[in-house]
Chain A
């Protein structure tokens, strides 16, 4: 036998031996298979500053409040609280009654290994833990300066050899076993949103004490799922919490979610097990979705053209039973100026640059024409956006741009130094940078692109070492304050105001508006501030993106959302339909 033939036989035999080494899908299993496109930093609620960690943490831990699963606009409802709080007339004191009988998950940290009941003191401890400077909590900003005496407690304890958690703080007190009282330093209605965020979820003192530094990998909460240990792997497997309280699927819904009521009144959670695959690369995740191994995933940019045509699924995907979910995201993309650089105090220069930028073309190139043009900073769907408002400086209007640039003192860009445009070092960011460079060239503004790895890019912004840079902001909570604060003077770098914009008039009006309770008057003030930022062109506002999610036909109750970190407890699998649909895969 000739040598090449021998090789061929060996290769074929190898393939035959290994062929079929894949795991077969069991359609009878009520298991959710999800993807996390980023590494999970760990399971400490006070460090959950990214969306993906927040989603994982919310499978295990819970807070006082949550967003109603089937209502839009977002509506806060009680979770571990028995009811919404009683708020004093001056908007300073918030009193909560806690649900009784809620238990922490079983763990060796508790007497007899059985989780004990959650009490008001657990929230007092959790809030102080968030404030404790030794914990370096990424979520401290939600309470920084908000609760009476908490900043002072933090400051004082940072100088002591150990933090004194027994010292009373006026701003957060347990009045009795089930009554919790917050006192704010000044009225701040957005405070309630903080209580639905992972940062303020209830943790147990015993568990923190038992695991010490490793607490981050030993999540023990009150939530619907348990995870005995987090090994920082690429696959996180949760199982149903056997001691989870009786929590039911909602029975009321906004009109757009009426079709998601088939499980109304059923006890949560609805699936036995959740497997989260940490997959940073889109291609393997997309292939797994197409193989039926993942229950939903956002359509990657590179697969968009083949998967979706005219906002409809391709025939191939439709045959497999996929459902396309399109939902606006609470975010905004923008090109920011660093106002520490006096050059950008020239309003006409900023306006000229905005007029020169062809946003519709950018939308087509980078978002497959799926995004909404942003007129200012606040995302649509949040009170404070005038739907009919069009930013007069939104391009492309080249003649006007050139005229304004000349008025700004730089006819055809003459006399204007080359501007440095900082971007993170991803392919898409570079393409966006090059597009921006080309757009500015049309009016004679020269741009030099500087790309850096994400941490370095972030560091440069925080150190005010940038001139112009591209960024996106996703809402932490559904209130205009969360967007407007991006230009609030006291939030300058290293705070969230990376533009370092500091306008006393804007700051004053922002402070006044954000202290008001939700009302038409407050909405009008927000709208005014939003328009002010638009016409000041404090940034080149880009787009508000939309999520395009492909959902398996067997997945029940799903809808894309930015803020429901705890969504998985409501999701269900139609096993019969799964068995049928899998035949098409």
Chain B
């Protein structure tokens, strides 16, 4: 019962968080962002046209009315239409979610499995050659600018070897597969360094605990010690790290989508920012905020599963 009450209480946090998010995006849009009229009306806009457009978009209404509209949008999820493409924003999200998830989904799974496995491996062989090699590769992965990795990857694997598509996308399975392999491989390389280093630290922290020494002294095999004891007890920070990534999956890969011409939500968000397309920016910000809150709750609940000593109050 306690758990349900906790979940309910945490979900109630959505209200103040969303109000805050609305306030921040509203203030940013009205005070910092450029007037969308100049982008929407083109190079020959007149003062009269600008005024007409402000009226059409409701930008000439009092600020409190516009803020109330933003709040209403956040709680009803009725995001309306994009100012630039005139498309229904939910339709745009539906169209962009597939391409984004077709990259971020596999990337998320591969990257985490790869990083955790590698972290276990290097923790197992800590201080040995494998550990040092992975350390060097991790630092290389973290230090080389992602743009350089992408450019090299496109040139080498896409152009020189010709084994992957350089860029582009086709909707539907399995048509999209040839287009997502290269970005996934490159982004595993870009992100594995940081992830592996993090998981290695977490696992090593646990590997030096007294109970691990006790387990070893009982003659339990090293593999069993690593998987049964160390990995299980490292799960709380690992889970936090993994679950917190989930809401970002829907946002897509902001930078990569443009470079690989993937029609995903990342590219859509970047375009919206470039065009001051407030309804789209608003939709993506609100969805991300809600996603972070929900997955925060999921993380808390999973803590109790992996560590029965934890109680939700």
A interface with B by C-beta (< 8 Å): 3-4, 15, 18-23, 39, 41-42, 44, 49-50, 133-134, 136, 138-141, 144, 158, 213-217, 231-235, 277-281, 283-285, 287-288, 290-291, 293, 452-456, 458-459, 462-463, 494-496
Contact = CB atoms under 8 A, between A and B. Distances in A.
Q: Which 3 A/B pairs are nearest by Cβ-Cβ distance?
A: A141-B44, A49-B42, A138-B42
A227 B121 CA distance: 53
13 contacts: A3-B130, A18-B163, A42-B86, A140-B49, A232-B85, A232-B92, A233-B169, A233-B171, A234-B168, A281-B167, A281-B259, A458-B39, A459-B34
B85 A41 contact: yes
A180 B72 CA distance: 48
B81 interface: yes
Contacts of A454: 274
B196 interface: no
B271 interface: yes
Which residue, of A217, A284, A285, A495, has the highest number of chain B Cβ atoms within 10 A? A284
B262 interface: yes
Contacts of B11: none
Interface in B25-53: 33-36, 38-47, 49-50, 52-53
B162 A138 contact: no
A41 B84 contact: yes
B227 interface: no
A136 B39 CA distance: 12
B164 A455 contact: no
Contacts, number: 164
A235 B159 contact: no
Which residue, of A20, A158, A235, has the highest number of chain B Cβ atoms within 10 A? A235
Given A3-B125, A494-B50, A232 B164 contact: no
Which residue, of A213, A293, A454, A462, has the highest number of chain B Cβ atoms within 10 A? A462
Contact of A136 (B53, B158, B261, B268): B53
B46 A141 contact: yes
A281 to B, nearest CB: 5
A569 B40 CA distance: 29
Given A136-B49, A136-B56, 16 more contacts: A4-B130, A18-B181, A21-B178, A138-B40, A140-B44, A141-B44, A214-B87, A231-B263, A279-B167, A284-B158, A288-B167, A453-B274, A455-B274, A459-B35, A463-B35, A496-B43
A459 B38 contact: yes
A277 B33 CA distance: 30
A285 B178 CA distance: 17
B86 A214 contact: yes
A462 B53 CA distance: 15
B154 interface: yes
A280 B178 CA distance: 20
A217 to B, nearest CB: 6
A39 B35 CA distance: 20
A233 B177 contact: no
Contact of B163 (A21, A50, A231, A494): A21
B190 interface: no
Interface string B75-102: 0000001001111100010010000000
B258 interface: yes
B217 to A, nearest CB: 25
B44 A138 contact: yes
A495 B44 contact: yes
Interface residues of B, number: 63
A225 to B, nearest CB: 20
A234 B36 contact: no
B46 A232 contact: no
Contacts of A20: 163
Contacts of A495: 44-46
B276 interface: yes
B154 A455 contact: no
A233 B268 CA distance: 10
A459 B170 CA distance: 36
A277 B169 CA distance: 9
Interface string B254-274: 000011111100011001001
B151 A283 contact: yes
B107 to A, nearest CB: 14
A98 to B, nearest CB: 28
B240 to A, nearest CB: 27
Given A49-B42, A278-B261, A281-B258, A217 B178 contact: no
Interface in B225-276: 258-263, 267-268, 271, 274-276
Given A213-B86, A217-B85, A280 B258 contact: yes
B133 A22 contact: no
Contacts of B125: 3
Nearest to A49: B42
A474 to B, nearest CB: 10
B56 to A, nearest CB: 6
A140 B53 CA distance: 13
B309 to A, nearest CB: 34
A217 B95 CA distance: 14
Contacts of B68: none
Contacts of B36: 455
Contacts of B95: 231-233
Given A42-B85, A133-B52, A287 B274 contact: no
Given A21-B177, A214-B87, A462 B45 contact: yes
Nearest to A457: B34
Contacts of A293: 166
B155 interface: yes
Contacts of B130: 3-4
A136 B154 contact: no
Nearest to A144: B46
A454 B274 CA distance: 8
A193 to B, nearest CB: 14
A347 B292 CA distance: 59
Contact of B162 (A22, A42, A158): A22
Contacts of B39: 455, 458
Contacts of B86: 42, 44, 213-217
Nearest to A459: B34
Which residue, of B85, B95, B171, has the highest number of chain A Cβ atoms within 10 A? B85
B206 interface: no
Contacts of B267: 234
A231 B52 CA distance: 28
B271 A39 contact: yes
Contacts of A15: 163
Given A141-B46, A144-B46, A284 B166 contact: yes
A49 B44 contact: yes
Contacts of A281: 167, 258-259
A139 B258 CA distance: 28
Nearest to B53: A136
Nearest to A35: B261
Contacts of B151: 283
A66 B177 CA distance: 42
Contacts of B170: 235
B52 A158 contact: yes
B42 A235 contact: no
Nearest to B92: A232
A157 B267 CA distance: 38
A462 B162 CA distance: 47
A539 to B, nearest CB: 16
Which residue, of A158, A215, A280, A283, has the highest number of chain B Cβ atoms within 10 A? A283
